[in-house]
Amino acid sequence: MDTKVHEGMESEMNGNGEPEKVKNNWKKRVLCFYRKMKRFPSWLWQTIWNVGRDDPRRMIHAFKVGLSLTLVSLLYLMEPLFKGIGTNAIWAVMTVVVVLEFTAGATLCRGLNRGLGTVLAGSLAFLIKFIATKSGKVFRAVFIGAAVFLIGAAATYMRFFPYIKKNYDYGVVIFLLTFNLITVSSYRVENVLNIAHDRFYTIAIGCAICLFVSLLVFPIWSGEDLHNSTVGKLEGLAKSIEACVNEYFNDSEIKENQDKSSEDPIYKGYKAVLDSKSIDETLALYASWEPRHSRHCYRFPWQQYVKVGAVLRQFGYTVVALHGCLQTEIQTPRSVRALFKDPCIRLAGEVTKALMELANSIRNRRHCSPEILSDHLHEALQDLNTAIKSQPRLFLGSNNNQATNMLALEAAHAARHKQEKDHGVSLSSVKTDSSALLEWKTNRVSEQAKENERKVLRPQLSKTVITSLEFSEALPFAAFASLLVEIVARLDNVIEEVEELGSIACYKEFNPDDDEITGTCEKPPLDVTKNQLPSHASD
């Protein structure tokens, strides 16, 4: 009786409590939505402000797009222009939307590709139409179908050619579109020639507006972006090396936080270098389409900038490995690091100065200093070598017996565990069924507990064996020091490529009064990798 009363009361409470719970959840959702909507205006304004603050040229580009669309809309808004062009003016609007890009080089590349593809497709389409008109109606249809198949297949296959794909892929797409439109339409439409003429004129008007706005109204040059990105990569590498070495020998504990690597200043320094291959090649391609726009008409060796970027990526891989030494499981004790702190910090400081000098030379378009590799760099290398040789016991080690005993102890423990397991199985085989089943369940639970304990202890035992070796204390530092020396060795390759760039680009000779070489990293230029707009879909 009491059970039924309690069950009834419990069901009644559940029945009345469920709608109350749903009502509370609904109120929480409404309140959460209200708070989000209340914060939305401030969030929107903050986002707009941050995007414009990161690169003010984005606002300039938005202004240029709006201006171009306004100018091309006059073909519709002004009556005389609309009467002369008609509804075909829509092609001019589409051309502006598709062709106008962030930089002048990108706009020139797409605009000239579009114009060239339209002219070639129209000429070939009219040739096909002229040949098909001289034949009968049946043969005309067969001839047009065969021409569409052959030209379409050939043009599509040409898109796989590396040179065509790199420089004229968009032009081939426009060629296919225009050729098929004119050729197929000519079979049913008599005045297809007038349609083609109108489309060609409107596309030409749209391309002209894009080129005018892109080249004359606050132009943004791909060559300058490539130039500034190279300077920024050199400064970022210098900043990463200096921060990495300082953190390695810092008295505070090393931060072991892998999830926040994107916020790490060391990671930020070399990230742009590792991700720069496609960006450099794209900027170099667009820059090759641009005219000499500077006051002194500098030569712009685009491919040499790409080579410098490739060398910097190889240099950056070593910096990545150096950064990894800060996050290894086995670390050299602070007392051992202190023995080599001074030469390592001086060596990193000299490498940082050299990278900053290279960055300044490219920024100012001058040759780098003849004393970029100073005697202080060689002195730091010699001091590091002397410090390592003065501590042979740290790197050779003499306590191998302790490690051997530890490994032997582990082997004996494993053999004893296996013997006990085999002995337990042999005893249980002679027992009765019920007792054997009970003992089998008990052993299974015990084995599972031991397995879980073994999984927990396995990493600790591995670390115990590793740390028992005497040379393991200096082994992580040996890797760090070797990578630091490797950075110095690869610095020569970077200097050679930068000097080659200065020779091809006719940089001015070095003058010590022009600027001063500083060891501190300045604020890098704008991150041009964020400014590349996505390619528009071809219409």
Q: Which two tokens stand for residue 390?
A: 């003065």
pTM of the model as a whole: 0.71
**For residue 520, what pLDDT is reported?**
40
Residue 293 in this model has a pLDDT that exceeds 70: no
- The H or E element containing residue 84 is helix 79-85
CA distances from residue 113 to 72, 292, 538 in whole angstroms, order as listed: 20, 20, 12
Residue 84, pLDDT above cutoff 70 = yes
Tens of pLDDT, residues 96-137: 998 999 999 899 999 999 889 988 988 898 888 888 877 766
For residues 392 and 214, give the distance between their C-alpha atoms in angstroms, rounded to a whole number: 65
Checking if the pLDDT of 517 tops 50, the result is: no
> How large is the average pLDDT for residues 286-306?
74
Q: How confident is the model at residue 314, as a pLDDT?
A: 92
Query: Mean pLDDT throughout 375-392?
Result: 83
pLDDT of residue 273 exceeding 80: yes
Average pLDDT over residues 165-187: 88
Confidence band (pLDDT; 50, 70, 90) for 311? very high
Backbone phi, then psi, for 193, in 5-degree steps?
-65, -40
Q: Considering only CA atoms, which of 290, 267, 266, 284 is closest in space to residue 229?
A: 284
Report pLDDT for 78. 83
Q: Which of 315-324, 330-339, 401-410, 500-509 has the highest mean pLDDT?
A: 315-324
Domain ranges of the chain: 58-216, 222-249+264-394+471-514
**CATH number listed for the domain at residues 222-249+264-394+471-514:** 1.20.58
Between 202-211, 240-249, 406-415, 490-499, the lowest mean confidence (pLDDT) is in: 406-415
Q: And the tokens for 478?
A: 């040996």
Answer yes or no: is pLDDT of 454 > 80. Answer: no
**442 has pLDDT over 70:** no
- Mean pLDDT comparison of 27-31, 220-224, 250-254, highest-scoring range: 220-224
- Alpha-carbon Rg for the chain in angstroms: 36
Residue 217, SS3 per DSSP = coil
Give the range among 178-182, 295-299, 360-364 with minimum mean pLDDT.
295-299
Kindly tell me if the per-residue pLDDT of 94 is higher than 60.
yes
Q: What pLDDT is recorded for position 416?
A: 53
pLDDT score of 405: 40
User: What are the tokens at 395?
Assistant: 């790197």
Is the pLDDT confidence value at 422 over 60? no
Burial 316-354 (b: 16+ CB within 10 A, else e): bebbbebbebbeeeebbeeeebebbeebbbbbbbbbbbb
Report residue 256's pLDDT band, with 50, 70 and 90 as the boundaries: very low
User: Mean pLDDT throughout 204-210?
Assistant: 90
- In sequence order, the β-bridge partners of residue 508 are 366
pLDDT band at 373 (very low <50, low <70, confident <90, very high): confident
Query: Residue 175 pLDDT more than 90?
Result: yes
Q: What is the pLDDT of residues 129-165, one digit of tens each?
A: 888 877 766 788 888 888 899 999 999 999 999 999 8
SS3 for 526?
coil
pLDDT of residue 441: 54
* CA–CA gap between residue 33 and residue 507 (Å, rounded): 60
535 has a pLDDT exceeding 80 = no
pLDDT at 307 over 70: yes
pLDDT tier for residue 34 given thresholds of 50, 70 and 90:
confident
pLDDT at residue 317 tops 90: yes
The confidence band for 176, taking pLDDT boundaries of 50, 70 and 90, is: very high
Q: What percent of the chain has pLDDT over 70?
A: 71
**Average pLDDT in the 472-496 region?**
86
Q: What is the mean pLDDT of residues 302-317?
A: 91
Reported as a pLDDT band with limits 50, 70 and 90, residue 509 is confident
| 481: nearest Cα among 318, 237, 269, 258 | 318
